[in-house]
């Protein structure tokens, strides 16, 4: 290494948390002097009336709000382009409010970027899939109102999508995409069915675990100011968020899946999702997320419980979880004490196995079994013969793999996928 890094960065949105917080968005937006606001959501959530309720309360502050309900669950380049074109046609807009899961928040980020900046979607998508261009113009205020507990998208700089022609999942990453304000109202998450709670909760868990075990920030070469990216490696501030998220999950995850009406469990999950987002949104994620992109992008005929049934899909949080036990077995020797500490935070009453490298994989597999996550990549339709394609897709996620605490080769990934065909 020439000169080691000595700087880490930290960013987060303004935050408003608590039951009823979503009823104050009209007031919050009025502080920005906005007049026309687009509320972005998906058809399933629009049917609950929640997005319209958020839009209606803006009228008291002289704000005209329209609802766009065309968000595709697990966005694609095609669905994002449609949303951008719809917003351009009905605009101009002074601000955006995303109501929903990560799909709605990410769609709103793309709309915000491409109604304020020139060019098309692929100009901004990460290299090597897209051009990786940085926005040249400031974006409009974006208020993120999550109704699922998982993605952490309300606190991050990332917009994720499937690029259909390339059969790859990728994203756009830039500090300007981070929402201006995150409004976390746990009451909005009570409608999450068990299957969605389980899958999106695994996303929280992997955000916390991956950022906690990511490369330490001083192990990178020193960057110049313009080279600094949101993912800078694990650091003292991201560690704090990740540890707290793991402790919250330990007490609430199983309960939120089994007893969806438990308001305290829902509030703890909402808090954990936001904390984990504040952790990984700065430190980064690594192997489980890199593997998740091809698992989701190459789905064959898997239909998860409690998700829209019209097309096959592996929900993002589920796809991240499926190789996590094996990924953390692989990374163990890079920071044994962190892997053990993470397992202790997640399962305070679990006994340490004789082999410490088995501790975190064991705790993860126990949890996944308890909340009905499928038993490995084989259970969602993949076989040994699919591994080369999965490895190729994961290797394209170099932005994520660069955050791994140890170097990852194609053979390493092939081994992780192979051992993840069945987990227990």
pLDDT top residue among 1 and 35: 35
| pTM for the model | 0.94
pLDDT class for 22, splitting at 50, 70, 90? Answer: very high
How far is the C-alpha of 72 from the C-alpha of 60, rounded, in Å?
30
Return the percentage of the chain with pLDDT > 70, whole number.
100
**Looking at residues 266-279, what average pLDDT do you find?**
94
Contact call for residues 422 and 379 (beta carbons, < 8 A): yes
Contact call for residues 76 and 164 (beta carbons, < 8 A): yes
With a CB cutoff of 8 Å and minimum separation 6, the contacts of 337 are: none
**Residue matched to tokens 């109202």:** 185
Contact call for residues 153 and 143 (beta carbons, < 8 A): no
Nearest to 106 by CA among 131, 141, 80: 80
Torsion of CA 273, 276, 280, 282, to 10 degrees: 100
Quick: pLDDT tens for 207-237. 999 999 999 999 999 999 988 888 999 999 9
pLDDT class for 417, splitting at 50, 70, 90? Answer: very high
How far is the C-alpha of 207 from the C-alpha of 79, rounded, in Å?
25
- What confidence score (pLDDT) does residue 377 get? 98
**Residue matched to tokens 């899939």:** 129
């Amino acid at each position: 290494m020439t000169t080691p890094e000595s700087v880490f960065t930290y960013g987060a949105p303004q935050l408003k948390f608590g039951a009823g917080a979503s009823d104050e968005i009209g007031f919050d937006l009025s502080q920005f002097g906005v007049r026309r606001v687009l509320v972005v959501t998906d058809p399933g959530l629009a049917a609950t009336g929640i997005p319209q309720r958020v839009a209606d309360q803006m009228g008291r502050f002289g704000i005209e709000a329209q609802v766009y309900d065309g968000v595709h669950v697990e966005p694609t380049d095609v669905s994002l382009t449609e949303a951008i074109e719809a917003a351009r046609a009905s605009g101009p807009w002074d601000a955006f409010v995303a109501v929903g899961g990560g799909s709605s928040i990410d769609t709103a980020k793309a709309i915000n970027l491409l109604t304020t900046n020139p060019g098309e979607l692929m100009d901004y998508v990460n290299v090597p899939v897209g051009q990786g261009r940085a926005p040249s113009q400031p974006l409009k205020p974006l208020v993120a109102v999550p109704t699922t507990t998982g993605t952490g998208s309300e606190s991050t700089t990332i917009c994720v999508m499937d690029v259909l022609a390339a059969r790859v999942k990728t994203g756009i990453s830039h500090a300007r995409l981070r929402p201006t304000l995150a409004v976390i109202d746990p009451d909005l998450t009570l409608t999450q069915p068990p299957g969605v709670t389980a899958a999106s909760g695994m996303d929280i868990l992997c955000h916390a675990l991956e950022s906690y075990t990511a490369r330490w920030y001083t192990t990178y070469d020193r960057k110049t100011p313009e080279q600094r990216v949101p993912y800078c490696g694990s650091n003292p501030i991201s560690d704090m968020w990740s540890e707290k998220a793991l402790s919250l999950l330990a007490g609430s995850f199983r309960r939120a899946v089994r007893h969806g009406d438990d308001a305290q469990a829902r509030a703890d999950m909402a808090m954990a999702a936001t904390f984990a987002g504040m952790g990984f949104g700065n430190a980064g994620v690594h192997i489980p997320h890199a593997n998740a992109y091809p698992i989701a992008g190459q789905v064959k005929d898997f239909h998860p419980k409690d998700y829209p049934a019209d097309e096959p899909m592996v929900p993002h949080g589920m796809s991240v979880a499926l190789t996590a036990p094996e990924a953390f077995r692989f990374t163990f020797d890079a920071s044994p004490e962190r892997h053990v500490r993470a397992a202790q935070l997640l399962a305070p009453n679990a006994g340490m196995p004789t082999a410490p490298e088995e501790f975190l994989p064991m705790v993860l597999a126990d949890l996944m079994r308890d909340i009905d996550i499928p038993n490995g990549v084989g259970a969602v339709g993949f076989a040994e013969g699919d591994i080369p394609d999965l490895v190729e897709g994961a290797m394209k996620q170099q932005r994520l793999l660069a955050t791994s605490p140890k170097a990852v080769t194609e053979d390493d990934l092939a081994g992780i996928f192979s051992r993840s065909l069945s987990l227990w």
